[in-house]
């Protein structure tokens, strides 16, 4: 049962990291939209975090699959397929010359990802709390009372 708790703790940090990456990418796109940053710097900053986001999503989905959490795996499957499609078509990186043409689409994609990751975070937090409570209850029922107050009289 402790393995289950470790799974949800890892999932919590992985999803929180993914949320951080998506928010950073949205901030870079917003800075570009308002002309606070040039297209080269913006695309460079965003492209640094694209593959780590894909890797986190892939590892998380693989762990859910291998641990038998089918609902979580199936929930992650559409985004995993979307990331795989982008990577295989070589469209995962933002092109400096096309960034202004694709700005609205890129922002919309990242807002959808942010919503998905927030939903995933809520589910993971719930499962984390449930696993912790179950572990505490299980360890409490295994307590046999022999480690109490021996020899104490009231």
DSSP string, 116-134: HHHHHHHHHHHHHHHHHHH
- Which residue's entry shows tokens 């703790």? 9
Listed range (4-8, 109-113, 143-147) with the worst mean pLDDT? 143-147
Mean pLDDT of 12-40: 94
Q: pTM of the entire structure?
A: 0.86
For residue 28, what are the CA distances in angstroms to 78, 108, 117? 25, 14, 19
Domain ranges across the chain: 2-141
The pLDDT of residue 36 is 87
H or E stretch at 16: helix 2-33
Q: Please calculate the CA angle 25-116-31 and round it to the nearest 5 degrees.
A: 20
Cα distances from 20 to residues 24, 26, 33, 96, 136, in angstroms, run: 6, 10, 20, 23, 31
Where b means 16+ CB within 10 Å and e means fewer, 128-140 reads beebeeeeeeeee
**Residue 35 has what pLDDT?**
84
Q: Does residue 146 carry a pLDDT above 70? A: no
């Amino acid at each position: 049962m402790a393995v289950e708790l470790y799974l949800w703790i890892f999932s919590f940090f992985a999803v929180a990291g993914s949320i951080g990456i998506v928010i950073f990418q949205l901030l870079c796109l917003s800075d570009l939209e308002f002309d606070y940053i040039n297209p080269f710097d913006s695309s460079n900053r965003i492209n640094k975090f694209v593959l780590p986001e894909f890797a986190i999503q892939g590892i998380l989905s693989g762990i859910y699959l291998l641990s038998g959490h089918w609902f979580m795996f199936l929930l992650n499957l559409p985004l995993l397929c979307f990331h795989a499609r982008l990577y295989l078509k070589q469209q995962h990186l933002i092109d400096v010359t096309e960034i202004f043409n694709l700005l609205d689409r890129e922002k919309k994609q990242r807002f959808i990802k942010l919503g998905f990751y927030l939903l995933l975070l809520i589910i993971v937090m719930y499962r984390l709390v449930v696993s912790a409570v179950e572990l505490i209850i299980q360890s409490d029922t295994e307590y046999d009372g022999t480690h109490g107050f021996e020899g104490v009289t009231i």
